[in-house]
Structures are given as C-alpha cells and as structure tokens.
C-alpha cells in the first residue's frame, strides 16, 4: 500500500459521499444535551449583565414613565405620582425589597429612602406631587435618585458592566469614576491578570527544562519520570491545595523543618498571602505546561540539531537558533493553557490566599452566594470570559492539539 494509491480511493469516496448524515445523528444527542444544559444556561446567565428586570417587573407603570422622561432637571408631578403609587403598593404587598436592593447597588441610601417614604405614605402622608415627596424627605429634590431610577428602568442596562469597571453614569448622563472606596474591580482584574501571568512564567521556568529532559531520554527511561508529572496531574486540585495548606501553615511541616534546621527562629508566614497563592497555583498548573510541551518536543527531529552541529554551531548556538524556535508553539500552548486556567481559578486562591489575594472568581462567587447581586456576578463573568476566549482562540491558532 503506497501512499499514492491509498490517497486516491479516499478522495473518490469523499466525492461520492459528500455528507454522512448518520454522523450528525450520532453527535446530535450530545449537542442537544450541551445546548440545553450548558450553552443556553451560560448565555442566559451572561444576559443578566446587560438587562435590568427588577424595577420594570415591580413598577411597570413607573418604568414606562421613567423611560419617557428626558432626565433633565427634576421629574414632573405625574411621574412622581406614578412612582409614589407603585412604591406604596409594593411596600404593602411586601415586594418593595427588589427595587430597593437594585437602586441601592447604584446609589447607597436609596433603600432606606424608599422604605421611609413608603411607610410615611402608608401612615397618611400624601404622595401626589414631587413637592409632596420632598416634604416627606428632602432627598427627593436630588436628581441623583431619579436618574438612578431612570437608568434602572431597563430593559437594557450598562450599569453592571460599568460598575465592573468601577464606572457609573452620573446624574448628568456622563460616565464617571465611582468613589474611591467603591472602586475595587479594576484592581481585582489587574491582580487576577498579574497572578495568572506570574504563575504562567513560573510554570515556564520550571517546566521547560523538565519537558526537555523527558524528551531527550529514550521512552523506556522517560516513562517512569513521566509518572512524576502525571501523579500531580491525576490528583485533584483540591487535594493538592489541601496538602499545601497542611505543609505551609504557621505550625506546619515546612516551618517545623526550617526551625529544626535552625534556619529560622519564628515561623514564616507562607500561606494566606501572595506567596502561598503562587506556590500552590504553580504546583496545580505545572503539569498542564509540561505535558503539551513534552508532546511538541518529542515530535522535533534531532536531524536539524545534528546538521547544525556538523556545520560548526556550538551546542548553545544550535539550541538557541535551531531547537528553541521549534519548541515555541509548545511553550505558547502550555503557557496559554496555564494562564487561562489560572484566570478563572477559584478553589486555590479561596483556600491559600489572604483577603488581598482574591481573584475575580472570588468576587463572582461573592455576588452569587452572599450579596445575591446576580447582575454584578454576570457582568464580572462576561468581562472575565472575553479576554479568556480571545487567549484560547489565539492559542488554538498557534498550536492545534492538546493532549488529554
């Protein structure tokens, strides 16, 4: 069977059977499953980043009236009356909470203002005009509260995405920076990128020589060493992070050994800080760098190196000019895998990081579980996903396959 013969029937077959519908039938169940339980849920979740439901659901008439208002000056009495009526109605129905929470994300104090006003109206204070509301609380004469309501009227909103970048739309409709104590997300994003970059660099420094050594050994000798890379690869990230917590804690094994050796007098702080995050994350992700690079290095023909040395290149020159460039796709693939996995890491920073080492996944978890601000969780997820998908796409074009 020569190559020239085996190619021809293949191409004939390909033209005779342009489509094989049964192959789609085999893939279809899985695609439908993924569509229903992965693609759609993720898209639905991300859509919360750009939509606003709370006010429109609870105060439909006010939402319509607020959308018609041009946002200049203060609202007219008709708008104030509509808002006041629905505020009172939702307070009495026990559903004011949703609107109050949503407005409070944007302007702190909105929550108490709404409850106070609604309770005063329930006790008999009139709410038929803007002046009535200002009489209940002078804050109603402040345009900030009205603009926040107008922006929350939906259905689309830029609020969550802007807030994720420490920005908001001020009363005049301009994009402005939020106050200093509220501005946290840009810092957390930068920190997430920095930690991921450092971990990717550490993996490159530690992993390149190991992949090189493995690739330079005959398979019979490389296989036992490969197990040393596969053992951590197989062990779950949680178990490995747990091992690091046990080893690095103040009265842990590492501090104990250092003290016994007389190298330190007092225990070092090795965990619940950035050092711990770097150590544990590098450990968790290092096999993801070594394995693809090893695959690339094994595919490199030694003949080019032999040619270089027979032409008089020193080993170092041959390595730098001939070998290293050929391994770059593997380095890029490994580094991108490590970087993108690190970007979204949750368990390891949560367990070995301190308060100042939390990454963006920690904020996403916080807004989902504790603060229940799902719009914020969705916006942060979207802003994490965009650079990540770009990186993965770039990585795919550089190196096509990743070993399982």
Partner 1 sequence: MSTHGIASRGWGRFALIGYCSLVFAFLVLPILAVVPLSLNPSSFLVFPEHGLSLRWYRALWDSPQWMRAFGNSLSVATATMLIATPLGTLAAIGLANMRSRAKPLIVALLSAPMVVPVVIVAIAFYFLFAPLGLVNGFAGLVIAHTVLALPFVVIVVHASLQGFDFELVRAAASLGARPATVMVRVLAPLIAPGIAAGAVFAFMTSFDETVVALFIAGPDQRTLPMQMFEGVREQISPAITAAATLLVIASTVLLGTAELLRRRADRLRPDRP
For residues 334-393, which are near partner 1 according to CB under 8 A? 340, 343-347, 350-351, 361, 364-365, 368-369, 374, 377-378, 381, 384-385, 388-389, 392
- Of 137, 305, 329, 387, the one binding partner 1 by CB under 8 A: 305
DSSP 141: G
Nearer to partner 1, 42 or 116 (CB): 42
Segment interacting with partner 1, rule: CB under 8 A, options 31-39, 126-134, 148-156, 176-184: 31-39
Cα→Cα distances 102→39, 108, 153, Å? 27, 10, 11
Nearer to partner 1, 121 or 342 (CB): 342
Q: Is 331 in the site for partner 1 (CB under 8 A)?
A: no
DSSP 383: H
Task: Determine if residue 358 is left, alpha or beta; phi over 0 gives left, psi from -120 to 50 gives alpha, anything else beta.
Answer: beta
- Of 42, 64, 122, 356, the one binding partner 1 by CB under 8 A: 42
Nearer to partner 1, 63 or 377 (CB): 377
As measured in angstroms, the least distance from the Cβ of 151 to partner 1 is 23
Segment interacting with partner 1, rule: CB under 8 A, options 32-40, 64-72, 74-82, 96-104: 32-40
Nearer to partner 1, 145 or 367 (CB): 367
What is the rounded CA–CA span in Å between residue 195 and residue 277? 8
Residue 167, SS3 per DSSP: strand
Nearer to partner 1, 247 or 268 (CB): 247
Cα→Cα distances 215→5, 192, 201, 294, 308, Å? 34, 33, 21, 6, 19
Dihedral angle over CA of 348, 352, 356, 358, nearest 10? 20
DSSP 205-245: HHHHHHHHHHHHS-HHHHHHHHHHHHHHHHS-HHHHHHHHH
Total residues interacting with partner 1, rule: CB under 8 A: 96
Query: What residues contact 195, with CB distance under 8 A and at least 6 apart?
Result: 274, 277, 278, 281, 342, 349, 357, 359
Question: What value does the CA radius of gyration of the chain take, rounded to a whole number of Å?
Answer: 30
Segment interacting with partner 1, rule: CB under 8 A, options 101-109, 122-130, 153-161, 230-238: 230-238
How many angstroms from the chain centroid is the CA of residue 26?
A: 33
Nearer to partner 1, 178 or 385 (CB): 385
Please work out, in degrees rounded to the nearest 5, the angle formed at the alpha carbon of residue 120 by the alpha carbons of 117 and 122: 110
Q: Return the bridge partners of 167, or none.
A: 177
Q: Is 29 in the site for partner 1 (CB under 8 A)?
A: yes
As measured in angstroms, the least distance from the Cβ of 141 to partner 1 is 38
Q: Is 216 in the site for partner 1 (CB under 8 A)?
A: yes
- Of 82, 117, 147, 249, the one binding partner 1 by CB under 8 A: 249
Nearer to partner 1, 124 or 218 (CB): 218
As measured in angstroms, the least distance from the Cβ of 32 to partner 1 is 10
As measured in angstroms, the least distance from the Cβ of 89 to partner 1 is 24
Nearer to partner 1, 119 or 259 (CB): 259
Residues 285-304 within binding reach of partner 1 (CB under 8 A): 286-287, 302
Q: Is 268 in the site for partner 1 (CB under 8 A)?
A: no
What is the rounded CA–CA span in Å between residue 374 and residue 231? 38
Residue 360, SS3 per DSSP: helix
63 cis-preceded (ω within 30 degrees of 0): no
Nearer to partner 1, 174 or 260 (CB): 260
- Of 64, 184, 238, 264, the one binding partner 1 by CB under 8 A: 238
Segment interacting with partner 1, rule: CB under 8 A, options 25-33, 73-81, 128-136, 147-155: 25-33
b/e burial code for range 176-213 (CB count within 10 A of at least 16 → b): eebeeeeeebeebbebbbebbebbbebbbeebbebbbe
- Of 230, 258, 268, 275, the one binding partner 1 by CB under 8 A: 230
Q: Is 215 in the site for partner 1 (CB under 8 A)?
A: yes
Number of H helices, E strands in the chain: 22, 2
Q: Is 8 in the site for partner 1 (CB under 8 A)?
A: no
As measured in angstroms, the least distance from the Cβ of 216 to partner 1 is 5
Q: Is 246 in the site for partner 1 (CB under 8 A)?
A: yes
């Amino acid at each position: 069977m020569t190559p020239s013969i085996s190619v021809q029937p293949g191409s004939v077959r390909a033209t005779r059977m342009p489509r094989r519908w049964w192959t789609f039938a085999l893939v279809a169940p899985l695609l439908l499953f993924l569509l229903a339980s992965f693609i759609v849920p993720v898209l639905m979740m991300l859509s919360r980043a750009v939509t606003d439901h709370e006010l429109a659901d609870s105060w439909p008439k006010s939402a319509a009236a607020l959308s018609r208002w041009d946002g200049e000056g203060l609202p007219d009495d008709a708008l104030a009356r509509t808002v006041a009526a629905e505020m009172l109605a939702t307070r009495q129905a026990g559903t004011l909470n949703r609107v109050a929470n949503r407005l409070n994300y944007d302007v702190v104090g909105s929550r108490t203002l709404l409850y106070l006003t609604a309770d005063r109206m329930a006790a008999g204070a009139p709410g038929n005009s803007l002046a009535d509301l200002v009489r209940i609380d002078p804050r109603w004469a402040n345009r900030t509260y009205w603009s926040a309501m107008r922006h929350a009227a939906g259905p689309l909103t830029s609020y969550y995405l802007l807030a994720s970048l420490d920005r908001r739309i001020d009363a005049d409709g301009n994009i402005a920076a939020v106050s200093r104590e509220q501005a946290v997300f840009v810092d957390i994003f930068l920190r997430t990128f920095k930690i991921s970059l450092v971990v990717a660099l550490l993996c490159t420094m530690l992993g390149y020589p190991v992949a090189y050594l493995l690739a330079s050994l005959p398979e019979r000798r490389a296989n036992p060493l490969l197990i040393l890379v596969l053992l951590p690869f197989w062990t779950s990230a949680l178990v490995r992070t747990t091992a690091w917590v046990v080893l690095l804690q103040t009265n842990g094994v590492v501090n104990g050994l250092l003290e016994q050796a007389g190298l330190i007098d007092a225990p070092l702080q090795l965990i619940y800080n950035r050092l711990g995050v770097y150590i544990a994350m590098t450990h968790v992700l290092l096999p993801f760098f070594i394995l693809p690079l090893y695959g690339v290095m094994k595919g490199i023909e030694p003949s080019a190196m032999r040619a270089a040395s027979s032409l008089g290149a020193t080993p170092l020159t041959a390595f730098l000019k001939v070998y290293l460039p050929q391994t770059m796709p593997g380095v890029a693939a490994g580094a991108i895998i490590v970087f993108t996995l690190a970007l979204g890491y949750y368990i390891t920073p949560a367990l070995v990081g301190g308060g100042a080492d939390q990454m963006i996944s920690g904020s996403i978890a916080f807004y989902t579980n504790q603060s229940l601000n799902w719009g914020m969780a969705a916006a942060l997820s979207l802003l994490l996903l965009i650079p990540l998908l770009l990186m993965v796409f770039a990585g795919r074009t550089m190196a096509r396959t990743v070993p399982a």
